[in-house]
Amino acid sequence: MSARLLVVSNRLPVVIEQSDGRWCSRPGSGGLVTALTPVLRQRGGLWIGWPGGGEEGGLDLAGMVTAAGEPAGFDFAPVKLTTDERDKFYYGFSNEIVWPLFHGLHTRCNFDPAYWKTYQAVNCKFARIIKENVDRGDFIWVHDYHLMHVAKELREVGLQQKIGFFLHIPFPPPEIFLKMPWRFDVLQALLEFDVLGFQTQNYRRNFTQCISSVMPGISVRGRGRVLTTKTPQRKVRIGVFPISIDFDEFADKAASAETTEQTLHLRQTYPGRTLMLGVDRLDYTKGIPERLKALGHAFERYPELREHMTLVQVVVPSRTAIDEYQDLKAEIEMLVSEVNGQFTVPGWIPIHYIFRNLDRTDLTAFYRAADIMSVTPLRDGMNLVAKEYCACRIENDGVLILSEFAGTAATMHRGALLVNPHDVEGMADAIYNAFLMGKKEQRTRMRGLRQGVRKYDVFWWLDMFLKASSEQDAELAAPPEEYDLMAMLPPESLAQAEPVRVPESLSCDGALE
Ligand code: ADQ
């Protein structure tokens, strides 16, 4: 497909913000930006999104964003949000409802009806800006949970061309999703897209189960990478496309002279010690407190780890205007000092804690220097950090400790040491096993992991999505065989498990107005 890509996401890969009283731009961070930037750099196109900020009089937002886009090699179009929109659409509906709910943490949700109204209004605003910028023949590709209503709004203003949607986060099972007061509206809005992409088969299954539970008139057909469903208005294709990274870019950066020098410097800082690394956005889904508790437990349970292993925990600031994220930061800092207070001896501090954005050289040097990488989210759509670590292990060694609840586990389970992040003892054992693992086993595992990340990189992901959009089904590979937690349970416990039943009163009978 050679159409121009018109990518739409809540955030642009550039952030406009005030620093020392002056407006300036800086690169954005996070998984979506890491994945999509090389795609647009390679293909060109237009990226529509919000560059941050609220209502600032006199600020030439479009000019600043255009200037920031020039070196990137593709175009940006900004969507300006008012302060009220930012609070209710971004902090409110997106971050207090969809984010926790879709990660299975419904007790953290604040189902404020005012948020829903603003969410629709802002999706309508995005749709207007797409309409102003779209050319006939463009492929409109909307990203993530902030913009689930955009296709519906675009259809209402008469736009009939193909629109794709990719969900970067998990899609929850029906018993969680159906708690959302606006569940039918959200499902109906999603079915206004032509192609829907999910990270794993499990998340797609959750989505199709929600459709069959509450829209009995709509059946989902097919098997393999793409399923189809027909609504009265259109045929919707529903695929599994595990997102990835630009493997070569990370591997080349890891091998560069500046990263090598920086890696040597890091290794000298921790002489003779096993270095374990954690790199996460500040978020309660990333399981940072659980990891710190497990490490404390590991030092208790396996005293030989003391003075021989150090954790470097890097946390990138994120959503810090929200109280909950400030509380999480305080909790992390308290746990770091608790473990350090209990175990530090002269010449050895168990945890080094870094709370800031790192540039690519620093990040890849940490990946290269780390003997063990700990990626232990409570739930994660995919988790690119796990893939970045493997890409940077250019000597084919290192151990990946990986949560079975990360989307990445679906395909990286063979090479990684899988853990349940809620199981403090199991995590402590995994840390100890990683510490003891010999180079031979490390290489066998890491080679397999690296081959997978190299072959199924972000360009493969793009290709699969575009082929599915243009119905080139013969060229689509089957979805990967996935790690299946249920398959580990004894058969008798599965026989007793009750299937999820949705009350008939919830059914909305497939009507799509
Ligand atoms: P995120 O929740 O942002 O992404 P993740 O996929 O791990 O999670 O990506 C984090 C990104 O931030 C990585 O590319 C990493 O390099 C970068 N990063 C982390 N710490 C950093 C630091 N201190 N300095 C600079 N950069 C740092 C969402 C979903 C994920 C999904 C992605 C992509 O939550 O599940 O994998 O989108 O779909």
Q: Tens digits of per-residue pLDDT, 23-53?
A: 778 888 789 999 999 999 989 999 999 988 7
- Mutational pocket test of ligand 1: of 7, 9, 29, 453, the residue with most ligand atoms within 8 Å of the beta carbon: 29
**What is the residue with the minimal CA distance to atom 18 of ligand 1?**
30
Q: Tell me: do 133 and 226 sit in the same domain.
A: yes
In a domain, 254, yes or no: yes
Q: Which of 433, 455, 477 is the last residue of a domain?
A: 455
Q: Does ligand 1 lie within 6 Å of residue 49's CB atom?
A: no
Distance separating alpha carbons of residues 152 and 224, to the nearest angstrom: 27
Ligand 1 center–CA 29 separation, angstroms: 7
**What is the residue with the minimal CA distance to atom 17 of ligand 1?**
30
In a domain, 465, yes or no: no
Q: Does ligand 1 lie within 6 Å of residue 312's CB atom?
A: no
Q: Tell me: do 55 and 14 sit in the same domain.
A: yes
Exactly one of 168, 194, 246, 283 is catalytic; name it: 168
In a domain, 301, yes or no: yes
Q: In which band, very low, low, confident or very high, does the pLDDT at 87 lie, cut at 50, 70 and 90?
A: very high
Cα separation values, 346 from 268, 341, 502, Å: 17, 12, 60
Q: Does ligand 1 lie within 6 Å of residue 25's CB atom?
A: no
pLDDT one-digit tens code per residue, 145-197:
999 999 999 999 999 899 999 999 999 999 999 999 999 999 999 999 999 99
Q: Tell me: do 311 and 443 sit in the same domain.
A: yes
Which atom of ligand 1 sits closest to the CA of residue 314? 23
Which pair of structure tokens corresponds to residue 255?
């091998």
Q: Tell me: do 192 and 227 sit in the same domain.
A: yes
Which atom of ligand 1 sits closest to the CA of residue 316? 23
Which atom of ligand 1 sits closest to the CA of residue 245? 14
Q: Does ligand 1 lie within 6 Å of residue 104's CB atom?
A: no
Query: Given this model, what pLDDT does residue 60 score?
Result: 74
Ranked by mean pLDDT, which of 12-16, 31-35, 280-284 comes out on top? Answer: 280-284
Q: In which band, very low, low, confident or very high, does the pLDDT at 22 lie, cut at 50, 70 and 90?
A: confident
Query: Given this model, what pLDDT does residue 490 score?
Result: 58
Query: Given this model, what pLDDT does residue 471 score?
Result: 82
Residue 297 known to be catalytic: no
Residue 380 known to be catalytic: yes
Distance separating alpha carbons of residues 27 and 25, to the nearest angstrom: 7
Q: Which phi and psi angles does 132 have, rounded to 5°?
A: -65, -30
Ligand 1 center–CA 245 separation, angstroms: 11
Distance separating alpha carbons of residues 410 and 427, to the nearest angstrom: 19
pLDDT one-digit tens code per residue, 96-107:
999 999 999 999
Residue 211 has pLDDT above 90, yes or no: yes
The DSSP annotation for 218-244 comes to --EE--SSEEEEE-SS-EEEEEE----
Q: In which band, very low, low, confident or very high, does the pLDDT at 57 lie, cut at 50, 70 and 90?
A: low
Q: Are 74 and 46 in contact (CB under 8 A)?
A: yes
Query: Given this model, what pLDDT does residue 329 score?
Result: 96
- Please work out, in degrees rounded to the nearest 5, the angle formed at the alpha carbon of residue 217 by the alpha carbons of 214 and 220: 85
Q: Tell me: do 235 and 330 sit in the same domain.
A: no
- Mutational pocket test of ligand 1: of 10, 385, 400, the residue with most ligand atoms within 8 Å of the beta carbon: 385
Token pair 């800082």 is at which residue? Answer: 269
Which atom of ligand 1 sits closest to the CA of residue 243? 38
Which atom of ligand 1 sits closest to the CA of residue 279? 20
Instruction: Give the residue with greater pLDDT, 20 vs 491.
Output: 20
- Considering the chain, what percentage of its residues have pLDDT values greater than 90? 74
In a domain, 466, yes or no: no
pTM: 0.93
Q: Tell me: do 315 and 390 sit in the same domain.
A: yes
pLDDT one-digit tens code per residue, 436-447:
999 999 999 999
Q: Say which DSSP state 345 is in.
A: B
In a domain, 153, yes or no: yes
In which domain, by residue range, is 367 found?
A: 247-455
Q: Which of 173, 169, 172 is nearest to 381 (CA)?
A: 169
Q: Tell me: do 304 and 176 sit in the same domain.
A: no
Exactly one of 380, 413, 429, 457 is catalytic; name it: 380
- Cα torsion through 138, 142, 148, 149, rounded to 10: -30
Q: Tell me: do 208 and 315 sit in the same domain.
A: no
Q: Tell me: do 298 and 415 sit in the same domain.
A: yes
Residue 139 has pLDDT above 60, yes or no: yes
Q: Does ligand 1 lie within 6 Å of residue 169's CB atom?
A: yes
Ligand 1 center–CA 156 separation, angstroms: 34
Residue 292 has pLDDT above 80, yes or no: yes
**What is the residue with the minimal CA distance to atom 2 of ligand 1?**
31
Q: Does ligand 1 lie within 6 Å of residue 140's CB atom?
A: no
In a domain, 467, yes or no: no
Query: Given this model, what pLDDT does residue 507 score?
Result: 45
Q: Does ligand 1 lie within 6 Å of residue 32's CB atom?
A: yes
Instruction: Give the residue with greater pLDDT, 68 vs 388.
Output: 388
Q: Tell me: do 255 and 304 sit in the same domain.
A: yes
Contacts of 418 (CB under 8 A, 6+ apart): 402, 403, 404, 409, 483
Ligand 1 center–CA 30 separation, angstroms: 4
Residue 513 has pLDDT above 80, yes or no: no
In a domain, 90, yes or no: no
Distance separating alpha carbons of residues 443 and 436, to the nearest angstrom: 14
Q: Tell me: do 159 and 256 sit in the same domain.
A: no
Residue 222 has pLDDT above 90, yes or no: no
Section 410-424 average pLDDT: 96
Residue 109 has pLDDT above 70, yes or no: yes
Query: Given this model, what pLDDT does residue 512 score?
Result: 39
Residue 342's SS3 state is helix
Which atom of ligand 1 sits closest to the CA of residue 283? 2
Q: Does ligand 1 lie within 6 Å of residue 383's CB atom?
A: yes
Q: Does ligand 1 lie within 6 Å of residue 357's CB atom?
A: yes
Residue 502 has pLDDT above 80, yes or no: no
Distance separating alpha carbons of residues 175 and 171, to the nearest angstrom: 12
Q: Tell me: do 325 and 404 sit in the same domain.
A: yes
Residue 501 has pLDDT above 90, yes or no: no
CATH code, domain carrying 435: 3.40.50.2000
In a domain, 118, yes or no: no
In the chain, the number of structural domains is 2
